[in-house]
């Protein structure tokens, strides 16, 4: 078992067990700020949604008004390919990167991240950060069954993954066309034979493929389809706005990916990047993440919605070593689902 894999396993335990921790003394960035002022800007590559990014940027620039933040947001596969392509061409534009820990482990293995131990990360449990200081977890993403409550009576709502194979849902399920983490983690949990059999049956249900979980959540709320594989924070955001949506807590497993933040190995603005990393890891930054109905990693910052409490879910973390097989999973997922389009 490699070190990164051990770290992710420890994160699973820490995420459930560590609910509070003593407050850390305020970090001193007096030596870092003048250097960041000289850099004047920061380029942030991320898969986090544009609206949520903006909330974080607003808080960050209020604290550091001398910095301009440029955000490049795209989907996981596209972001990975962009970073690898830029590196192969000797081009280095990004300063900070927010990605799931599987992808962060890949970037680390390619020497595309630099080690940095952020002072604000001191209070984080050991399992929530890379042991060599290359990245630290900032929030968790759960893959869950979401449904439109106006379209499905309570007794008919899907509760677990096999429920999606009911003939009544044929042509009525929304799925992200790049649901590779979910696919690969189910292989890790269920085994290949059971997972492939299930996925082929699910593909036979003629699901509607869309790109992006935020879009899936919006379409679900609009009644485009009654059921979808979504992120629960999107559901909670929409519920707060009065949308007729909810999600099942009873699926086994609930595949969960931790997104982490790190600094690019050849960041053009490394000091500004350090300020951003520390801000997002700080209590202020994590409170912003909490208020967006995401699941923060910082101890003592609990999810805004009680339903998001991780200890009540049958969580299965995405294996960090999955990056070694992700190309295989991507191709297999496409063969199963895309050929039915």
| pLDDT tens per residue, range 82-126 | 999 999 999 999 999 999 999 999 999 999 999 999 999 999 988
- Give me the architecture of the 3-141+257-311 domain, per CATH: 3-Layer(aba) Sandwich (3.40)
Confidence of residue 13 (pLDDT cuts 50, 70, 90): very low
Q: What is the pLDDT of residues 148-162, one digit of tens each?
A: 999 999 999 999 999
Q: What is the mean pLDDT of residues 51-74?
A: 97
Asked if the model's pLDDT at residue 11 lies above 50, the reply is no
Asked if the model's pLDDT at residue 280 lies above 50, the reply is yes
Asked if the model's pLDDT at residue 173 lies above 80, the reply is yes
Sign of dihedral through CA atoms 289, 295, 296, 299? positive
Residue 225 token pair: 């389809």
User: What is the C-alpha to C-alpha distance for residues 62 and 152, in angstroms, rounded to an integer?
Assistant: 44
What does the pLDDT read at residue 10? 44
Confidence of residue 12 (pLDDT cuts 50, 70, 90): very low
Q: What is the pLDDT of residues 217-272, one digit of tens each?
A: 999 999 999 999 999 999 999 999 999 999 999 999 999 999 999 999 999 999 99
Task: State which of 21-35, 118-132, 146-160 shows the largest mean pLDDT.
Answer: 146-160
What does the pLDDT read at residue 15? 45
DSSP 4-21: HHHHHHHHHHHHHH----
What does the pLDDT read at residue 296? 96
27, 119 contact by CB (below 8 A): yes
Angle 38-39-44 from CA coordinates, rounded to 5°: 155
Confidence of residue 23 (pLDDT cuts 50, 70, 90): low
Closest of 300, 299, 332, 297 to residue 317, by C-alpha: 297
User: Mean pLDDT of all residues in the chain?
Assistant: 92
What does the pLDDT read at residue 14? 46
Q: Which fold has domain 142-255+321-340?
A: D-Maltodextrin-Binding Protein; domain 2 (3.40.190)
41: three-class secondary structure by DSSP = strand
Domain ranges across the chain = 3-141+257-311, 142-255+321-340
How much is the CA Rg of the chain, to the nearest whole Å? 20
Asked if the model's pLDDT at residue 5 lies above 60, the reply is no
Query: HSE on the CB side for 116, CA within 13 Å?
Result: 28
Instruction: Tell how far CA 169 is from the center of its chain.
Output: 27
- Reading phi first (left if > 0) and then psi (alpha if -120 to 50, else beta), residue 111 is in left
What does the pLDDT read at residue 36? 98
What does the pLDDT read at residue 128? 86
Confidence of residue 27 (pLDDT cuts 50, 70, 90): confident
């Amino acid at each position: 078992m490699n070190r990164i894999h051990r770290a992710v396993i420890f994160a699973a335990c820490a995420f459930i067990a560590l609910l509070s921790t003593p407050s850390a003394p305020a970090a001193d960035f007096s030596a870092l700020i003048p250097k960041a002022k000289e850099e004047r800007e920061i380029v942030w590559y991320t898969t986090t949604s544009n609206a949520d990014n903006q909330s974080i940027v607003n808080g960050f620039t209020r604290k550091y008004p001398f910095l301009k933040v440029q955000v490049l947001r795209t989907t996981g596969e596209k972001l990975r390919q962009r970073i690898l392509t830029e590196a192969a061409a000797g081009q280095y534009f990004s300063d900070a990167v927010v990605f799931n820990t599987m992808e962060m482990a890949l970037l680390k293995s390619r020497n595309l991240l630099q080690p940095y131990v952020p002072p604000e990360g001191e209070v984080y449990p050991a399992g929530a950060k890379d042991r060599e200081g290359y990245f630290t977890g900032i929030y968790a993403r759960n893959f869950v069954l979401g449904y439109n409550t106006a379209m499905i009576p309570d007794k008919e709502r899907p509760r677990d993954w096999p429920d999606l194979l009911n003939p009544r849902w044929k042509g009525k399920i929304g799925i992200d066309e790049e649901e590779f983490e979910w696919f690969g983690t189910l292989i890790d949990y269920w085994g290949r034979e059971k997972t492939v059999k299930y996925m082929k049956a699910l593909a036979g249900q003629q699901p509607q493929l869309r790109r992006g979980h935020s879009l899936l959540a919006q379409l679900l709320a609009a009644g485009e389809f009654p059921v979808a594989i979504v992120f629960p924070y999107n559901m909670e955001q929409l519920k707060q706005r009065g949308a007729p949506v909810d999600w099942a807590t009873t699926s086994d497993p609930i595949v969960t990916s931790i997104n982490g933040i790190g600094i690019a190995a050849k960041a053009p603005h490394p000091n500004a990047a350090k300020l951003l990393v520390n801000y997002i890891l700080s209590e202020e930054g994590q409170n912003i993440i909490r208020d967006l109905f995401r699941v923060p990693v910082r101890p003592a910052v609990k999810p805004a919605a009680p339903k998001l409490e991780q200890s009540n879910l049958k969580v299965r973390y995405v294996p960090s070593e999955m990056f070694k097989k992700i190309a295989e999973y991507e191709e297999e997922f496409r063969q199963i689902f895309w050929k039915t389009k």
